[in-house]
Amino acid sequence: MEYEIIDGLRVPKLGLGTWSIGGGSRADPSLDSRSLAALRSALELGYTHFDTAETYAAGQTEELIGRAVRETGTERGALFITTKVAPEHLGYNQVLSSLEGSLRRLRMDYVDLFLIHWPRFGMNLEEAFRGLNKLIRDGRVRHLGVSNFNLKLLRQAKALAESPIMTDQVPYSLSDRSHAKNGVLEHCQQNDILLTAYSPLDQGAFKPGKSVQAIAAARRTTPQQIALAWLIAQPRVITIPMSADPRHQKENLEAIAIQLSAQEMARLTAS
């Protein structure tokens, strides 16, 4: 595993996204067996960073993650767990309640990273961070971050947080460079903030271009591995592809070992 080092903390370059584990916007108990198998597989393969949210399967995803951790006997200290507060819960007391609900479902004493999931028009960011800062002081949350924040909101968050903003989690992939164009990527790289790239393979709809296909063929890898390697090679960028398939989970992890040349990186970036 490769890591980004932030304030002395090692954060895995690649983690597991868990959207659709346990359901979509609602829990689907019929998926529990398959979802638990996917989470156990990831843990056994060596994944340590799991990204979830209170809204994933209406909290069922968090419950399943906690259950998989217990069933595999994985030590809590070996894991990096991220969860998120929903945009409708950004009041001071709501932030506190949201985190307590997540901890109860995970059956854990703390989370490593707690994010504002989405900005909301008219939100009181100061009140939200009053709650987030308290959670840091109380030791229930180790690090703070945001998700889907543009550069203006990211700067506001930095000003309100009593501890460093660890990440801005945004869509970023070979086919979606919007946060490279709007300045978020550069700002993160220049200010020791991780950009966590979600949907790195376009939620399973990745369509490799000629450059990706050529590089993958030459290296005898999959185009998906090249797309992940391109992200992993970038400073201050980590990524959280989702897969319930053990074979794909393993392939995604193996992308970490692919060392793209400067020429390959330039060719992909220009594609």
Q: For 184-241, how does the pLDDT look when each residue is reduced to its tens digit (9 = 90+)?
A: 999 999 999 999 999 999 888 888 999 999 999 999 999 999 999 999 999 999 999 9
Does 213 fall in a domain?
no
Does 258 fall in a domain?
no
CATH of the domain at 35: 3.20.20.100
Sign of the CA dihedral running 227, 232, 235, 240? positive
**What's the pLDDT tens digit per position in 167-187?**
999 999 999 999 999 999 999
Does 227 fall in a domain?
no
Active site residue 56: yes
Does 256 fall in a domain?
no
H helix or E strand, kind and range, residue 148: none
74 burial via Cβ count (<10 Å: 0-12, 13-18, 19+): middle
Range of the domain at 44: 9-206+236-243
Question: What radius of gyration, in Å, describes the C-alpha atoms of the chain?
Answer: 18
Does 214 fall in a domain?
no
**pLDDT band, residue 63 (cuts 50/70/90):** very high
Does 174 fall in a domain?
yes
Does 42 fall in a domain?
yes
pTM, rounded to two decimals: 0.96
H helix or E strand, kind and range, residue 34: helix 32-45
Q: What's the number of domains the chain is made of?
A: 1
Does 230 fall in a domain?
no
Q: Of these residues, 56, 110, 172, 198, which one is catalytic?
A: 56
Q: Which three-class secondary structure state does DSSP give residue 115?
A: strand
Q: What is the pLDDT of residue 237?
A: 98
